[in-house]
Amino acid sequence: MSVRKLASGVLAALALLSGAAIADAKDPINVVDPFEFDPDFRWFEPVYDLDLADMKPEKRAHTGWFATYDRLNLYAGRPELFRPDTGENRLDGGWGNRYEVGFMLPGDKHGWMFNWTKLDVLAADTFQQERLNRFIDPTDGFPITNTFGFPIRGGEGNNLGYDFRFYNVGKTLNVFKYQSYELNKTWRMTPYHYGGIAEPLIGLRYMKLRDINSFNQYESSIYPPPPPDPPVEPPAETLTTQKDVTLNDMFGGQIGFRYFKPHNRYVLSTDFRAFFGGNWQSSKFQRIIDYTEYDGVEVGSEVVSMSTTETPAVFSENSEFYFGYDVRAELSYQLTKMLSVRTGMQAIQIGRGVWRGGQGSPGQLAGGAKDQGLFMFGATFGLNFNH
Task: Note the pLDDT of residue 121.
Answer: 97
pLDDT computed for residue 138 by the predictor: 52
Give Cα separations from 30 to 36, 62, 87, 108, 368 (angstroms).
14, 19, 51, 10, 46
Across 63-67, 71-75, 291-295, 364-368, the highest mean pLDDT is recorded for: 71-75
72 vs 60: CA distance, rounded Å: 25
Nearest to 210 by CA among 324, 83, 374, 4: 374
| 368: DSSP letter | B
Q: Are 151 and 143 in contact (CB under 8 A)?
A: yes
Contacts of 194 (CB under 8 A, 6+ apart): 261
Instruction: Give the tens place of pLDDT for each residue, 262-274.
Output: 888 888 999 999 9
pLDDT tens for each residue of 147-158:
455 555 444 567
What pLDDT score was predicted for residue 23?
A: 38
Burial class (CB in 10 A: 0-12, 13-18, 19+), 135: middle
Report the chain's mean pLDDT, rounded to a whole number: 81
Q: Within its chain, how far is the Cα of 254 from the centroid?
A: 20
How far apart, in Å, are the Cα atoms of 328 and each of 70, 79, 93, 140, 267?
Answer: 12, 24, 18, 58, 14
pLDDT of residue 135: 59
Q: How many CB atoms lie within 10 A of CB 340?
A: 19
**Global confidence as pTM:** 0.79
Average the pLDDT over 278-285 and give the result. 96
CA 24-29-32 angle, to 5 degrees, is: 140
> Is the bond preceding residue 234 a cis peptide, omega within 30 degrees?
yes
Tell me which of 282 and 302 has the higher pLDDT.
Answer: 282
- What pLDDT does residue 64 have? 84
Residue pair 236/220 in contact (Cβ under 8 Å)? The answer is: yes
Q: Which tops the pLDDT comparison, 43 or 317?
A: 317
Residues 294/247, Cβ–Cβ less than 8 Å: no
Query: pLDDT (tens digit, 9 = 90+) per residue, 52-71?
Result: 555 666 666 777 889 999 99
Residue 239's pLDDT band, with cuts at 50, 70 and 90, is very high
Q: In the prediction, which pLDDT does 124 show?
A: 93
Q: What percent of the chain has pLDDT over 90?
A: 49
Whether the predicted pLDDT of 94 surpasses 70:
yes
Tens digits of per-residue pLDDT, 315-355? Answer: 999 999 999 999 999 999 888 877 899 999 999 999 999 99
Averaging pLDDT over each range in 3-7, 55-59, 153-157, 360-364, which range is the top one? 360-364
Phi-psi group of 24: left, alpha or beta (phi > 0 → left; psi -120 to 50 → alpha; rest → beta): alpha
Task: Please tell me the predicted confidence (pLDDT) of residue 230.
Answer: 59
Query: pLDDT band at residue 86, thresholds of 50, 70 and 90?
Result: low
Is pLDDT of 36 > 50? no
Q: Assess whether pLDDT exceeds 90 at residue 38.
A: no
Burial (0-12, 13-18, 19+ Cβ within 10 Å), 118: middle
Distance (Å, whole) CA 71 – CA 95: 8
Render pLDDT for 99-130 as a digit per residue (tens, 0 to 9).
Answer: 999 998 877 789 999 999 999 999 999 999 88
Residue 42 is predicted with a pLDDT of 58
- Is the pLDDT higher at 31 or at 236? 236
